């Protein structure tokens, strides 16, 4: 059977390509020189499988899409408290190029330029000279993408030569004691960071790395710890789409970040990374066609974070009888993910099985177990096993194996070769 995803992605591009609204970002002169018709989309699944359509090999500068990843690297390098002391997590409601400092001089969040410059300054710690921070960032972005990323010199020169506004932000941050480095050094580094070249494919991989708890599913590298990815995705959700964050949350519902080069990346935790590219942007700075693509993907594929994820809720695949050597047992076949909500339902299913009957809990089709689901299931099964029921756990792939050692007695767990 052939996956329908590539055809579907081509269809989405076709259907969104008649929209010619928007304009190229021209406040960075070099950005006005790109082909406005370029159009691409990519998905990276949680296991690293990438699907792409359109101009998916075209490179463009990542601009503000670097901000969530540099925020992630700063959190990794400095910890939450030190980063929070310099940059907040509240949506500003202002455009990205407003300074939006709070009364304490802290930028509202890391997704606006003033916050991104403050974030840049934190990379590597105070002992790293400002001119060395960009290379740490370039390596970090490359680890997210799973390949070496370079910069677009022409875009860098063009933006750096016209960066008076960002220079003003850096001076103000220094005035408020939020950064220690020179404004020129910081803006140079920040502009280099924005000039890193990516494709939609890179962006989808970078996004899924955040969505999978900081681990790049292609290279296997744990780029940032899981708590960092949760923090970053939360800030993307509330602040990622410039001043259109509320529209985005309600309409699309995927944590995302856009850049004025026309790219948008999004990450649905535990599921998929998404990216779109089309250079013409709206008045907020978001790619016009890119927004359409995300609206389509979210609607068609049921990706809205606040939508009910049915596949996760329905844990019970089938319930019936199975013949064992020494009699009949009740056979519960589970599928999908074991987590708080789904295991809670399982216990109610188990309660329906009459006392004294043997029960086979079959995890063959379970794909993911989170720590809470694991502990609940093991604790619960131990409790049930201590009663009058006989419990048999079928776990051929070892999804429930307990490397962290939760202290749960595994002696109730036995294997059934055929169920």
Of the residues 40, 42, 43, 64, which one makes contact with ligand GLU according to CB under 6 A: 64
- Rank residues 64 and 121 by Cβ distance to ligand GLU and give the closer one: 64
Q: Which two tokens stand for residue 337?
A: 């993910």
- Rank residues 96 and 144 by Cβ distance to ligand GLU and give the closer one: 96
Query: Angle 66-84/113-122 helices, nearest 10 degrees?
Result: 70
Instruction: Give the nearest distance from C-beta 159 to ligand GLU in angstroms.
Output: 6
Instruction: Give the nearest distance from C-beta 166 to ligand GLU in angstroms.
Output: 5
Give the integer Cα–Cα distance in Å for 116 and 144: 18
Instruction: Give the nearest distance from C-beta 245 to ligand GLU in angstroms.
Output: 13
Q: Which of residues 323-342 bind ligand GLU (CB under 6 A)?
A: none
Beta strands in 177-290 (DSSP E): 197-198, 256-258, 263-268, 272-277
How far lies 263's CA from each of 40, 60, 123, in Å? 9, 8, 24
Residues 109-128: x/- map of binding to ligand GLU (CB under 6 A)? ----x---------------
Give the integer Cα–Cα distance in Å for 115 and 92: 11
- Rank residues 205 and 265 by Cβ distance to ligand GLU and give the closer one: 265
- Rank residues 113 and 181 by Cβ distance to ligand GLU and give the closer one: 113
- Where on the phi/psi map is residue 143: left (φ > 0), alpha (ψ -120 to 50), or beta? alpha
Instruction: Name the helix (H) or strand (E) containing 42.
Output: strand 40-45
Instruction: Name the helix (H) or strand (E) containing 70.
Output: helix 66-84
How far lies 369's CA from each of 213, 223, 255, 366, in Å? 14, 22, 23, 8
Burial of 148 from C-beta contacts in 10 A (0-12 / 13-18 / 19+) = exposed
Of the residues 285, 290, 336, 373, which one makes contact with ligand GLU according to CB under 6 A: 285
Q: How many CA atoms lie within 13 A of 332 on its CB side?
A: 23
- Rank residues 54 and 285 by Cβ distance to ligand GLU and give the closer one: 285
Rule CB under 6 A: say whether 92 interacts with ligand GLU.
Answer: no
Rule CB under 6 A: say whether 189 interacts with ligand GLU.
Answer: no
- Rank residues 281 and 334 by Cβ distance to ligand GLU and give the closer one: 281
Rule CB under 6 A: say whether 160 interacts with ligand GLU.
Answer: no
Residues 231-260: x/- map of binding to ligand GLU (CB under 6 A)? ----------------------------xx
Rule CB under 6 A: say whether 166 interacts with ligand GLU.
Answer: yes
What is the contact surface with ligand GLU in residues (CB under 6 A)? 63-64, 96-97, 113, 159, 166, 194, 259-260, 285
């Amino acid at each position: 059977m052939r996956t329908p995803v590539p055809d579907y992605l081509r269809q989405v591009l076709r259907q969104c390509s008649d929209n010619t609204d928007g304009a190229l970002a021209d406040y960075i002169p070099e950005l006005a020189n790109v082909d406005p018709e370029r159009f691409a989309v990519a998905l990276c699944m949680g296991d690293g499988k990438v699907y792409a359509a359109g101009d998916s090999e075209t490179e463009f500068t990542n601009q503000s899409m670097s901000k969530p990843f540099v925020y992630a690297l700063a959190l990794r390098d400095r910890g939450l408290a030190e980063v929070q002391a310099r940059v907040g997590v509240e949506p500003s409601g202002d455009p990205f190029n407003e300074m939006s400092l709070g009364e304490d001089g802290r930028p509202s969040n890391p997704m606006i330029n003033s916050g991104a410059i403050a974030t840049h300054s934190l990379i590597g710690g105070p002992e790293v000279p400002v001119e060395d921070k960009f290379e740490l960032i370039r390596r970090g972005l490359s680890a997210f993408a799973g390949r070496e990323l370079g910069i677009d010199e022409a875009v860098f020169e063009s933006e750096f030569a016209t960066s008076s506004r960002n220079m003003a932000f850096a001076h103000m941050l220094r005035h408020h004691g939020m950064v220690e480095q020179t404004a020129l050094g910081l803006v140079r580094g920040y502009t280099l960071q924005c000039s890193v070249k990516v494709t939609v494919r890179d962006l989808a991989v970078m996004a899924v790395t955040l969505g999978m708890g900081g681990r790049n599913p292609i290279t296997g590298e744990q780029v940032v710890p899981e708590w960092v990815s949760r923090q970053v995705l939360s800030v993307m959700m509330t602040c990622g789409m410039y001043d259109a964050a509320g529209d985005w949350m309600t309409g699309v519902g995927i944590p995302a970040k856009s850049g004025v080069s026309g790219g948008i990346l999004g990450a649905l935790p535990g599921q998929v990374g998404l990216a779109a590219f089309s250079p013409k942007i709206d008045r907020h700075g978001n790619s016009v066609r890119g927004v359409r693509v995300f609206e389509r993907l979210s609607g068609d594929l049921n990706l809205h974070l606040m939508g009910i994820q049915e596949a996760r809720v329905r844990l019970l695949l089938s319930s019936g009888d199975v013949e064992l050597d020494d009699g009949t047992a009740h056979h519960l076949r589970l599928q999908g993910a074991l987590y708080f909500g789904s295991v809670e339902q399982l216990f109610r299913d188990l309660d329906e099985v009459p006392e004294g009957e043997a029960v086979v809990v079959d995890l063959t089709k379970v794909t993911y177990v989170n720590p809470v689901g694991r502990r609940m299931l093991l604790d619960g099964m131990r409790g049930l096993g201590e009663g009058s029921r006989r419990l048999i756990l079928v776990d051929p792939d070892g999804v429930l194996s307990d490397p962290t050692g939760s202290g749960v007695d595994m002696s109730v767990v036995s294997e059934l070769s055929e169920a």
